[in-house]
Each structure stands twice: as structure tokens, then as C-alpha cells.
């Protein structure tokens, strides 16, 4: 579904991504793990069209989207849940969810999808008229994920969904990710909680200082001595 070939990204003189090549097959959960500053968010922003690479290709369903506008990338079926939630304060939960469907014109289907989001996240229905900024961290993460689902993505890019959440909420968010995946959405997951990410991933890549250092199934990387020492506290 998503194929990245020899991707190079610079911030001025800083070489942030170095010949990154990876793929996400339809129906997979693929995890991308690595230390802070490894380039994980840069990669997601480049896929979403927020950053332009200096070299390389990003193929989505066989079409090169490297030069596509972000709105066209979203329309094609790629939606990102940004690091830190980025909900719109001053707007209600309901208005935030509608922002996810901003590019859609199918009003009846939007209404139906809104009900599906409320079914998945009952707390959002309870808080639908509340300012998004007054929600707890876990509730804001659910809102950010619900908003992304309102765009009807074929692939969901999740950037650090567990960041800043209590352990019990982390488990809940990962259960939600698995449920979203089970209902047919492909997932590319960037996550610092490597243990949790690898436990639900079909495959995973390790990004180190802008390069893909390792790849394998979630289970293979979980059992790797190198990964255990570097990321799992082994």
C-alpha cells in the first residue's frame, strides 16, 4: 500500500533521513521505533506532504505522492494523528470531529461515521459540546484518533499515541489501535513505547539517526538481544 524508496530529507545542513526504504502492506500494523531525534516524526511529516524530500519516492497505491499537496494526500486516504494530539482548543469535541471530515462532501455518510466514532469512544459523545482543551490527555488522544477516522483513511499514521499517558490509558489506546486495525484500516505506528508497539505490530523497523538500522516481524524484534538492550530495558 505504501512504499518508501531511498528517501532523503534535509533540515538545512542536517541530513535528517538517509536513504530510508521501507513498505507497509495493506492490512498490516507496521511499527517504527527509535530514540528521540532519530527522524520518526520527520518521516511521517514527509509522507503527509508537510516536508519535501530532496530525493526519493513515496508510492501510495502505486502512485508517487512526493510532490502532492497535503490535502490531496489526505483525500487519497492517508491521515496522520500528530504527536501531542493537536486538538483545536476553542472548538467543541463535536466541531473537532467534523474538522476531520473537512474535505468530504458526503453529508449523510459523515453523520453515519460520526455515530461510529461516538460508538467507539462513548466519552466523546458525553463530552461532545465541551471545549476540546478541557479534556484529559487520554480523552484528547481519543479525540485526535476519532478526528482522523472522520477522514475515512485507508492508512492511519499514528505519531506517539501513548506519549504522556498513564500506563492504564496506554493499554486502552493500544487496544483501540488494534480494534481500528481489525475493522480494516492499515496502520503505521511511530511509538517510543517499543515493547507495546512490537507486541501489536506485524512488522517493524528501527530508525537510528535517520537510517533504517533493523527490520523484521514484531516478534523477531521483541526477541532480538540488540533491541532488548537498546529499547526494552533488557
Read off the pLDDT of each residue in 209-223 and give the average, rounded to a whole number.
92
Sign, CA dihedral 25-57-33-160, equals negative
Between the two ends of the chain, the Cα-to-Cα distance in Å is: 34
Q: Are strands 2-11 and 14-24 parallel, antiparallel or unpaired?
A: antiparallel
Q: Place 193 in a pLDDT band, splitting at 50, 70 and 90.
A: confident
Read off the pLDDT of each residue in 206-217 and give the average, rounded to a whole number.
93
Alpha carbon distance 91, 87 (integer Å): 9
What does the pLDDT read at residue 148?
92
Q: What is the mean pLDDT of the chain?
A: 91
Q: What is the pLDDT of residues 67-106, one digit of tens each?
A: 999 999 999 999 999 886 688 788 899 999 988 888 888 8
Higher pLDDT: 149 or 230? It is 149
- Domains along the chain? 2-82+151-231 (3.40.50.300)
Alpha carbon distance 176, 181 (integer Å): 9
Q: What is the pLDDT of residues 37-71, one digit of tens each?
A: 889 999 999 999 999 999 999 999 999 999 999 99
Which grid coordinates belong to 104? Answer: 468530504
Alpha carbon distance 134, 140 (integer Å): 9
Amino acid at each position: 500500500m505504501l512504499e518508501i524508496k531511498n528517501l532523503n530529507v534535509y533540515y538545512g545542513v542536517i541530513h535528517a533521513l538517509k536513504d530510508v526504504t521501507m513498505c507497509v502492506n495493506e492490512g498490516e500494523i507496521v511499527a517504527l521505533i527509535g530514540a528521540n531525534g532519530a527522524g520518526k516524526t520527520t518521516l511521517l511529516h514527509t509522507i503527509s506532504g508537510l516536508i519535501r524530500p530532496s530525493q526519493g519516492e513515496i508510492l501510495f497505491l502505486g502512485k508517487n505522492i512526493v510532490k502532492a499537496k497535503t490535502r490531496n494526500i489526505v483525500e487519497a486516504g492517508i491521515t496522520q494523528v500528530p504527536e501531542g494530539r493537536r486538538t483545536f482548543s476553542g472548538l467543541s469535541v463535536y466541531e473537532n470531529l467534523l474538522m476531520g471530515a473537512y474535505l468530504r462532501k458526503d453529508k449523510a455518510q459523515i453523520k453515519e461515521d460520526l455515530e461510529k466514532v461516538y460508538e467507539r469512544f462513548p466519552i466523546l459523545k458525553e463530552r461532545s459540546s465541551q471545549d476540546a482543551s478541557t479534556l484529559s490527555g487520554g480523552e484528547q488522544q481519543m479525540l485526535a484518533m476519532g478526528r482522523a477516522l472522520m477522514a475515512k483513511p485507508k492508512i492511519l499514521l499514528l505519531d506517539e499515541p501513548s506519549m504522556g499517558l498513564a500506563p492504564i490509558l496506554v493499554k486502552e489506546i493500544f487496544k483501540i489501535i488494534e480494534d481500528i486495525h481489525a475493522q480494516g484500516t492499515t496502520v503505521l505506528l511511530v511509538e517510543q513505547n517499543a515493547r507495546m508497539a512490537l507486541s501489536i505490530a506485524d512488522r517493524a523497523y528501527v530508525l537510528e539517526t535517520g537510517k533504517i538500522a533493523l527490520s523484521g516481524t514484531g516478534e523477531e524484534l521483541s526477541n532480538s538481544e540488540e533491541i532488548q538492550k537498546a529499547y526494552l530495558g533488557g
